[in-house]
Amino acid sequence: MLETTDLRSSLISRTPLNIIDLSGLDTSTVQDRSYMFNGCSELQEFNLASFNTTRMSKMDDMFTGE
> Which band of pLDDT confidence, cut at 50, 70 and 90, is reported for residue 4?
low
Whether residue 66 has pLDDT greater than 60: no
Q: Give yes or no for a contact between 31 and 56, defined as CB atoms under 8 angstroms apart.
A: yes
**From CA 27, how far away is CA 16, in angstroms rounded?**
22
Burial status of residue 3 (CB atoms within 10 A of its CB: 0-12, 13-18, 19 or more): exposed
Separation between Cα atoms, residue 56 and residue 29, nearest integer Å: 8
Statement: the pTM of the whole predicted model exceeds 0.75: no
Residues 25-36: tens digit of each pLDDT: 888 888 888 888
Taking the C-alpha atoms of residue 14 and residue 41, their distance in angstroms, rounded to an integer, is 8
Domain boundary assignment for the chain: 1-58
pLDDT digits (tens, 9 = 90+) for 31-56: 888 888 877 778 788 888 878 888 88
